Protein backbone atom coordinates (compact mmCIF):
# COMPACT_ATOMS: atom_id res chain seq x y z
CA UNK A 1 0.00 0.00 0.00
CA UNK A 2 2.88 2.37 0.77
CA UNK A 3 3.89 2.28 -2.90
CA UNK A 4 0.49 3.80 -3.82
CA UNK A 5 1.53 7.18 -2.42
CA UNK A 6 3.87 9.74 -3.92
CA UNK A 7 6.60 11.35 -1.89
CA UNK A 8 8.06 14.79 -2.34
CA UNK A 9 10.90 16.55 -0.59
CA UNK A 10 10.56 20.24 0.17
CA UNK A 11 13.09 22.20 2.19
CA UNK A 12 14.73 18.94 3.22
CA UNK A 13 11.50 17.49 4.63
CA UNK A 14 9.75 14.49 3.05
CA UNK A 15 6.00 14.68 2.49
CA UNK A 16 3.65 11.90 1.44
CA UNK A 17 0.87 12.78 -1.00
CA UNK A 18 -2.34 10.87 -0.44
CA UNK A 19 -5.70 11.01 -2.22
CA UNK A 20 -8.16 13.38 -0.58
CA UNK A 21 -10.59 10.59 0.36
CA UNK A 22 -7.77 8.76 2.18
CA UNK A 23 -6.82 11.99 3.97
CA UNK A 24 -10.45 12.54 5.05
CA UNK A 25 -10.67 8.98 6.34
CA UNK A 26 -7.43 9.39 8.31
CA UNK A 27 -8.64 12.71 9.73
CA UNK A 28 -11.94 11.15 10.86
CA UNK A 29 -10.06 8.25 12.46
CA UNK A 30 -7.77 10.69 14.29
CA UNK A 31 -10.80 12.62 15.61
CA UNK A 32 -12.41 9.37 16.77
CA UNK A 33 -9.22 8.34 18.53
CA UNK A 34 -9.01 11.74 20.25
CA UNK A 35 -12.63 11.34 21.42
CA UNK A 36 -11.92 7.86 22.77
CA UNK A 37 -8.84 9.10 24.60
CA UNK A 38 -10.77 12.03 26.11
CA UNK A 39 -13.51 9.64 27.21
CA UNK A 40 -11.00 7.26 28.80
CA UNK A 41 -9.25 10.14 30.58
CA UNK A 42 -12.54 11.51 31.94
CA UNK A 43 -13.60 8.07 33.15
CA UNK A 44 -10.16 7.64 34.74
CA UNK A 45 -10.68 10.87 36.69
CA UNK A 46 -14.07 9.60 37.85
CA UNK A 47 -15.97 12.20 35.83
CA UNK A 48 -19.42 11.49 34.50
CA UNK A 49 -19.50 11.09 30.74
CA UNK A 50 -22.64 11.50 28.69
CA UNK A 51 -23.82 9.65 25.60
CA UNK A 52 -23.47 11.36 22.24
CA UNK A 53 -27.22 11.15 21.69
CA UNK A 54 -27.82 13.29 24.78
CA UNK A 55 -25.50 15.96 23.42
CA UNK A 56 -27.30 15.94 20.09
CA UNK A 57 -30.71 16.20 21.75
CA UNK A 58 -29.55 19.07 23.99
CA UNK A 59 -28.00 20.89 21.04
CA UNK A 60 -31.14 20.56 18.92
CA UNK A 61 -33.37 21.76 21.77
CA UNK A 62 -31.09 24.73 22.48
CA UNK A 63 -31.03 25.63 18.78
CA UNK A 64 -34.85 25.50 18.72
CA UNK A 65 -35.05 27.71 21.82
CA UNK A 66 -36.60 24.95 23.93
CA UNK A 67 -35.97 24.29 27.60
CA UNK A 68 -33.21 21.80 28.36
CA UNK A 69 -34.75 20.83 31.70
CA UNK A 70 -37.03 18.04 30.43
CA UNK A 71 -34.17 16.43 28.51
CA UNK A 72 -31.96 16.32 31.59
CA UNK A 73 -34.88 15.21 33.77
CA UNK A 74 -35.69 12.29 31.48
CA UNK A 75 -32.01 11.40 31.17
CA UNK A 76 -31.85 11.15 34.97
CA UNK A 77 -35.00 9.01 34.95
CA UNK A 78 -37.09 11.44 36.99
CA UNK A 79 -40.73 12.37 36.72
CA UNK A 80 -41.75 16.01 36.92
CA UNK A 81 -43.12 15.35 40.39
CA UNK A 82 -39.88 13.73 41.55
CA UNK A 83 -37.76 16.60 40.19
CA UNK A 84 -40.10 19.18 41.71
CA UNK A 85 -39.80 17.49 45.11
CA UNK A 86 -36.01 17.08 44.85
CA UNK A 87 -35.48 20.69 43.79
CA UNK A 88 -38.08 22.36 45.99
CA UNK A 89 -39.64 23.99 42.92
CA UNK A 90 -43.40 23.61 42.55
CA UNK A 91 -44.52 21.12 39.93
CA UNK A 92 -46.61 23.82 38.22
CA UNK A 93 -43.61 26.17 37.96
CA UNK A 94 -41.38 23.33 36.77
CA UNK A 95 -43.94 22.51 34.08
CA UNK A 96 -43.93 26.13 32.91
CA UNK A 97 -40.12 26.09 32.74
CA UNK A 98 -40.07 22.79 30.86
CA UNK A 99 -42.64 24.01 28.35
CA UNK A 100 -40.73 27.29 27.87
CA UNK A 101 -43.68 29.31 29.15
CA UNK A 102 -41.37 30.83 31.78
CA UNK A 103 -37.58 31.04 31.67
CA UNK A 104 -37.21 30.18 35.35
CA UNK A 105 -35.52 32.33 37.94
CA UNK A 106 -31.83 31.89 38.59
CA UNK A 107 -32.66 30.47 42.02
CA UNK A 108 -35.12 27.94 40.59
CA UNK A 109 -32.66 26.87 37.89
CA UNK A 110 -29.90 26.49 40.50
CA UNK A 111 -32.14 24.22 42.54
CA UNK A 112 -33.13 22.21 39.48
CA UNK A 113 -29.53 21.84 38.30
CA UNK A 114 -28.46 20.68 41.77
CA UNK A 115 -31.24 18.08 41.83
CA UNK A 116 -30.20 16.92 38.35
CA UNK A 117 -26.50 16.78 39.40
CA UNK A 118 -25.39 19.10 36.61
CA UNK A 119 -23.91 22.59 36.43
CA UNK A 120 -26.27 25.54 36.12
CA UNK A 121 -24.57 26.31 32.79
CA UNK A 122 -25.90 23.00 31.46
CA UNK A 123 -29.46 24.36 31.74
CA UNK A 124 -28.86 27.84 30.41
CA UNK A 125 -28.83 28.31 26.67
CA UNK A 126 -25.91 30.51 25.72
Domain ranges of the chain: 2-44, 52-122
Q: What is the pLDDT of residue 49?
A: 74
CA distances for 11 relative to 8, 15, 17, angstroms: 10, 10, 16
pLDDT at 45: 86
**Pairwise CA distance, residues 43 & 37, whole Å:** 10
Closest CA to 98 of 61, 53, 50: 61
For the chain, the residue count is 126
pLDDT at 72: 97
Average pLDDT, the chain: 91
CA nearest 71: which of 112, 126, 29? 112
State the pLDDT at residue 1. 57
2 pLDDT exceeds 70? no
Residue 24 confidence (pLDDT): 94
Residue 76's pLDDT is 96
Q: What is the mean pLDDT of residues 11-25?
A: 92
Tally of CA atoms within 13 A in the half-sphere of 79 that contains its CB: 4
Residue 40: the pLDDT is 83
What integer pLDDT is reported at residue 126 of this predicted model? 56
Assign domain 52-122 to a CATH class: mainly alpha
pLDDT digits (tens, 9 = 90+) for 39-73: 788 778 887 778 889 999 999 999 999 999 999 99
In 3-state terms, what secondary structure has residue 16? strand
Amino acid sequence: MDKDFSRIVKDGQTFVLVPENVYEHLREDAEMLADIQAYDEAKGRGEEVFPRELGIELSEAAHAGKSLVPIWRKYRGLSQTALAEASGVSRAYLSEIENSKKPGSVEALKRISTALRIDLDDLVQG
